[in-house]
Amino acid sequence: MLQQFQHYITTTFSFLKGKKIVLAVSGGIDSMVLMHLLMRSGYTFSVAHCNFQLRDQESDQDEEFVKMTCQEHYIPYFINRFETQKYADLHKKSIQIAARELRYNWFDELMHTNGYDFLLTAHHIDDSAETFLINFTRGTGLEGLMGIPQQNKNILRPLLPFSREEIERYAQENSVSWREDSSNASDKYFRNKIRHHILPILKELNPNFLNSFQQTLIHLQEAQCLVEEASSMVYEDVVEETNDEKRFDLNKLQKLPHKTTYLYQWLKPYGFTAWNDIFDLTEAQSGKQIFSEDYRLLKDRDFLILSKKTEPQNESYEIQEQLKQIDFPINLRLSDQSHIISHSKGTIFVDKLSLKFPLILRKWQEGDYFYPSGMQGKKKVSKYFKDEKFSLIDKEKTWLLCSENEIIWIVNHRADQRFLANEKTQHILKIEVL
Amino acid sequence: MLQQFQHYITTTFSFLKGKKIVLAVSGGIDSMVLMHLLMRSGYTFSVAHCNFQLRDQESDQDEEFVKMTCQEHYIPYFINRFETQKYADLHKKSIQIAARELRYNWFDELMHTNGYDFLLTAHHIDDSAETFLINFTRGTGLEGLMGIPQQNKNILRPLLPFSREEIERYAQENSVSWREDSSNASDKYFRNKIRHHILPILKELNPNFLNSFQQTLIHLQEAQCLVEEASSMVYEDVVEETNDEKRFDLNKLQKLPHKTTYLYQWLKPYGFTAWNDIFDLTEAQSGKQIFSEDYRLLKDRDFLILSKKTEPQNESYEIQEQLKQIDFPINLRLSDQSHIISHSKGTIFVDKLSLKFPLILRKWQEGDYFYPSGMQGKKKVSKYFKDEKFSLIDKEKTWLLCSENEIIWIVNHRADQRFLANEKTQHILKIEVL
């Protein structure tokens, strides 16, 4: 097996020579075989071992075993002990998820701090088949049936094409020692159940199962590429992107034969999960919206508008009298003037003596009203927005400049009559958006 | 369960009312439940039962049971006894495949002869999951992971959304009787192994497995739609179709990011299986070709050319002296003329007395030569083809008209000098392509 493994790794991963490599080693058979293979193939690397402290002295013995092996071969090593159970309890996560997060967070940090180019892990094709079956059992889309990727950014899995059986043969032929993880033998975890009860039957039904599986993965990965290609070809036609929004043209979308599938493809990266609600949204009233953790999808007349969730609407900022300029949350300059030049959407001239400092910058609230410049009487801000055809997002982006609770200016849109300077005003204050 | 089943069938299959329906009934629980459901929902239908004669008297008892049930309810029935084992031996097929072929061939015939609109079968979601897992175990592409379709032309499967468990509950609640198929309990067949050993574990790991599976199928079916959409969008750009050929432009193909995947999608329907050879063909020498059962894919300079396999190249046809016209394998008219009008590619005038009847129509063979009209001396036909830039397919489509083994005419292309009529010819024969 050594030759076969060596041939594969030296041809496929020739780019690794001269790179800074760190290898994740649990002490189990897979990672010990990969460590042996790397040594025998002349690679220089360091080792990182996670002690999750979940199996008492067994865990510590694993740690000791990895440490001794590294010392014996003069391989630099990093060891980290995690309070996995505590972390899981604290974050209300399963032990498996907790261990995974701790592990990859630490690896990230380790690579960044020490300038490693690649992290190597010892996953193999049986792991990939297990992952496929886990996702399948739980329910998934095509993207959940891609197996484990051989390379994912700077994580490489050189043993991925090999089976557990081949790795065992390698270990035997090359007298690699390793430690058995007692939790692997238990059926406690979902993965172990699949490993011990499903995979053996598949291999019995098709003795060539792992090869067939590799071919299946290739076919599915190719199908996924075409799905993404169709998705992006159609995207260009249907979606307009601006700096902070994507606008999905519903008239164009409705003409597509698989509109829900396209929406799913396009919106998946934004963390949405309530797909039926989203599909209903295409037919819903203007103003309806659906949220993911970070994004908002809004039905606005003939469009669905995707945007980042905005800040809470109750934020407000004070502008002290002595300030000449503010840079947050928007850029405003305030300057004393001897005369009025010309009002515009982005510049107003007000009577400074009529203002009560500090001025307030805040968002619109239900019940707000103002006295629009050039008009008689007052108007609800909501009515003004409606007349000006503001979308929900427009409304949320708009700042109101206020004196106490009275609106001075719907910034960048319309001034309030009450505060505007006129030819009699003695202290003219110019306020402009930069 | 009755209400739930009835609600589903009457809403989803309302179009069945008034149609001529035949129901496939084995006597097992699934088909007996469907039969009960159809009766209780007021459908009129006939029953078709296959006796595969594989389980001796058990098979005959099944037949008797179905017959009695139909008679009891005045339902017309068809019964067919098959020599399944003999058929399987004769055609070297597995019993499962043999039974399937016999069954569907008979159903086809039955529907055609008796004017049935729809065949109903009692497949359910467990069957669909089994089919998924069978294909997955053997290795497949996305198209093998679509489950069983609810409708496939005129075959309908009204119980497809329901589980085996729900069907069992229906049978119990409604006192439906059925016969247990003893072969279902054995692990002899691939499907039974998956039914008894894999599905129960998946359902244990995820008690909601069948619902998740239904969602998975929907996602995969949608992905498959996009795959086909990408495939056909790109196809239009890369492929030129003529009556009997499809020409894949390699220059355009090479620019595609997933060219092998597209080729796979496009060529799959033509029965090709040697995918690696096909992918190599894009880089191969002109003239190389790969065959499926009925089709041929030829590398010809900057194209891959797909065409139906041509007839064997050794066919030849005689043209007797008295014939005025032939219609096969091509249309030729032979007529005596008093003078030469004008030679053209499709019409020649020859000296009838120089010909030896019957004339022969045949394809080109290695070593053929002729005396091209308007040229001095002889020329190999292969050289002529090359100079005229004939593709392999052009060569194969071209007929030679011969007198014994001497070429008179490369039909529709070039006459032979030796047989052409001139002003001294007494018996002028005009031969023209119609």
Same domain, A151 and A46: yes
Q: Is residue A210 part of a domain?
A: no
Q: Is residue A136 part of a domain?
A: yes
Same domain, B13 and B146: yes
Same domain, B187 and B299: no
Cis geometry, peptide bond prior to residue B158 (ω within 30 degrees of 0): no
**Cα separation, A401 vs A122, whole angstroms:** 60
The residue among B260, B292, B308 that closes a domain is: B308
Q: Is residue B345 part of a domain?
A: yes
Q: Tell me which long-range contacts A389-393 makes (C-beta under 8 A, separation of at least 24).
A: A391/A298, A391/A300, A391/A305, A392/A287, A392/A289, A392/A298, A392/A300, A393/A245, A393/A298, A393/A300, A393/A305, A393/A307, A393/A310
pLDDT of residue B179: 94
Same domain, B167 and B253: no
Tell me the two tokens of residue A199. Answer: 């995979």
Same domain, B299 and B416: no
A28 annotated ligand binder: yes
pLDDT of residue B175: 95
The values of phi and psi at residue A406, to 5°, are -95, 135
Token pair 């008689």 is at which residue? Answer: A376
Same domain, A183 and A288: no
Task: Output the tens digit of pLDDT for each of chain A's 434 residues.
Answer: 888 899 998 888 888 888 999 999 999 999 999 999 999 999 999 999 999 998 889 999 999 999 999 999 999 999 999 999 999 999 998 888 899 999 999 999 999 999 999 999 999 999 999 999 999 999 999 999 999 999 988 999 999 999 999 999 999 999 999 998 877 766 667 889 999 999 999 999 999 999 999 999 998 998 999 998 888 888 989 999 987 889 999 999 988 888 888 888 899 889 888 888 898 999 988 888 899 888 999 998 899 999 988 656 677 889 998 888 888 888 999 999 888 888 888 999 999 999 999 999 999 888 899 999 988 899 999 999 989 888 877 888 899 999 998 999 999 999 999 999 988 898 999 999 98
Mean pLDDT for B235-263 is: 89
CB atoms within 10 A of CB A292: 18
The residue among B163, B179, B205 that closes a domain is: B205
Q: Given an 8 Å threshold on Cβ–Cβ distance, is A227 in contact with B231?
A: no
pLDDT of residue B31: 97
Same domain, B15 and B163: yes
CA-based nearest residue in chain B for residue A212: B139
Q: Is residue B244 part of a domain?
A: yes
Counting one residue from chain A and one from chain B, the pairs whose CB atoms sit within 8 A come to 124
Mean pLDDT for B136-147 is: 93
Same domain, B193 and B287: no
Which residues of B carry a binding-site annotation? Answer: 26-31
DSSP string, B170-229: HHHHTT------HHHHSS-SHHHHIIIIIHHHHHHH-TTHHHHHHHHHHHHHHHHHHHHH
**Cα separation, A49 vs A29, whole angstroms:** 14
Closest Cβ–Cβ partner in B201, B220, B261 for A225:
B261
pLDDT of residue A56: 85
The values of phi and psi at residue A83, to 5°, are -90, 70
Q: Is residue B211 part of a domain?
A: no
Domain harbouring B253, CATH code = 1.20.59.20
Q: 3-class DSSP state for residue B4?
A: helix
How far does A138 lie from chain B, in Å, by closest CA?
6
Q: Identify the residue among B136, B264, B275 best suited for mutation to test binding to A, counting A beta carbons within 10 A and taking the highest.
A: B136
ipTM of the assembly? Answer: 0.72
Contacts of B191 in chain A (CB under 8 A): none
Q: Given an 8 Å threshold on Cβ–Cβ distance, is B138 in contact with A202?
A: no
Phi-psi sector, A404: left (phi>0), alpha (psi -120 to 50), beta: left
C-beta of residue A143 within 8 angstroms of C-beta of residue A190: no
How far does A70 lie from chain B, in Å, by closest CA?
39
Complete edge-to-edge strand list for the sheet that includes strand B303-308:
B239-241, B245-249, B303-308, B295-300, B289-291
Domain harbouring A372, CATH code = 3.50.40.10
Contacts of B137 in chain A (CB under 8 A): 202, 205-206, 209, 212
The values of phi and psi at residue A229, to 5°, are -70, -45
Is the predicted pLDDT of residue B38 greater than 80, yes or no?
yes
State percent of chain A over pLDDT 70. Answer: 98
* Per-residue pLDDT reduced to its tens digit, B285-336: 888 889 988 899 999 889 999 998 866 667 788 999 888 888 888 899 999 9
How far does A275 lie from chain B, in Å, by closest CA?
11
Q: Given an 8 Å threshold on Cβ–Cβ distance, is A201 in contact with B198?
A: yes
Contacts of B209 in chain A (CB under 8 A): 137, 139
**Cα separation, A376 vs A410, whole angstroms:** 17
A29 annotated ligand binder: yes
* Bridge partners, residue A80, by sequence: A50
The contacts of residue A334 (CB under 8 Å, 6+ apart) are A319, A323, A324, A325, A429, A430, A431
pLDDT of residue B312: 60
**Cα separation, B282 vs B280, whole angstroms:** 5
Q: Is residue B213 part of a domain?
A: no
Contacts of A230 in chain B (CB under 8 A): 226-227, 229-230, 233
Same domain, A295 and A412: no
State percent of chain B over pLDDT 90. Answer: 62
CA-based nearest residue in chain B for residue A225: B258
A26 annotated ligand binder: yes
Closest Cβ–Cβ partner in A219, A233, A257 for B142:
A219
pLDDT of residue A195: 93
How far does A194 lie from chain B, in Å, by closest CA?
8
Is the predicted pLDDT of residue B363 greater than 70, yes or no?
yes
Check the CA dihedral B362-B367-B372-B378 and report its sign. Answer: negative
Q: Identify the residue among A201, A217, A226 best suited for mutation to test binding to B, counting B beta carbons within 10 A and taking the highest.
A: A226
What is the domain extent for residue A289? 219-308
Q: If pLDDT is split at 50, 70 and 90, which confidence band does B243 have?
A: confident
- Tell me which DSSP letter residue A310 carries: P
pLDDT of residue A188: 65
Amino acid code (one letter) for B393 = I
Closest Cβ–Cβ partner in B140, B145, B261 for A222:
B261
Across chain A, mean pLDDT equals 91
Under an 8 Å CB criterion, which residues of A touch B?
136-142, 145, 190, 193-194, 197-198, 201-202, 204-206, 208-209, 211-213, 215-216, 219-220, 222-227, 229-231, 233, 257-258, 260-262, 264-265
Integer distance in angstroms from the first to the last C-alpha of chain B? Answer: 70
Alpha helices, H only, B343-419: 381-387, 392-397
Tell me the two tokens of residue B379. Answer: 């020329």
How far does A238 lie from chain B, in Å, by closest CA?
16
Contacts of A262 in chain B (CB under 8 A): 226
**Cα separation, A38 vs A14, whole angstroms:** 12
Closest Cβ–Cβ partner in A142, A193, A194 for B223:
A142
Mean pLDDT for B43-48 is: 95
pLDDT of residue A158: 95
Which residues of B carry a binding-site annotation for ATP? Answer: 26-31
- Max distance between CA atoms of chain A, in angstroms, equals 99
The contacts of residue A89 (CB under 8 Å, 6+ apart) are none
Nearest Cα to Cα of residue B350 among B340, B364, B362:
B340
**Cα separation, A159 vs A162, whole angstroms:** 5
Give the count of domains, chain B: 3
Same domain, A194 and A225: no
Same domain, A264 and A368: no
Q: Compute CA distances B344 → B328, B410, B413, B432, whole Å.
A: 22, 12, 8, 9
pLDDT of residue A156: 96
Mean pLDDT for B141-169 is: 94
Domain harbouring A74, CATH code = 3.40.50.620
Q: Given an 8 Å threshold on Cβ–Cβ distance, is A216 in contact with B257?
A: no
Contacts of B136 in chain A (CB under 8 A): 216
Nearest Cα to Cα of residue B81 among B102, B50, B126, B123:
B50
A27 annotated ligand binder: yes
Q: Is residue B124 part of a domain?
A: yes
Nearest Cα to Cα of residue A302 among A253, A347, A344, A259:
A253
C-beta of residue A279 within 8 angstroms of C-beta of residue B243: no
The residue among B308, B337, B369 that closes a domain is: B308
Q: Given an 8 Å threshold on Cβ–Cβ distance, is B227 in contact with A227?
A: yes
Same domain, A418 and A297: no
Under an 8 Å CB criterion, which residues of B touch A?
136-142, 145, 190, 193-194, 197-198, 201-202, 204-206, 208-209, 211-213, 215-216, 219-220, 222-227, 229-231, 233, 257-258, 260-262, 264-265
Q: Given an 8 Å threshold on Cβ–Cβ distance, is A206 in contact with B265?
A: no
Amino acid code (one letter) for B372 = P
Cis geometry, peptide bond prior to residue A358 (ω within 30 degrees of 0): yes
**Cα separation, B33 vs B111, whole angstroms:** 22
Q: Is residue A213 part of a domain?
A: no
Contacts of B131 in chain A (CB under 8 A): none
**Cα separation, A43 vs A16, whole angstroms:** 8
pLDDT of residue A205: 93
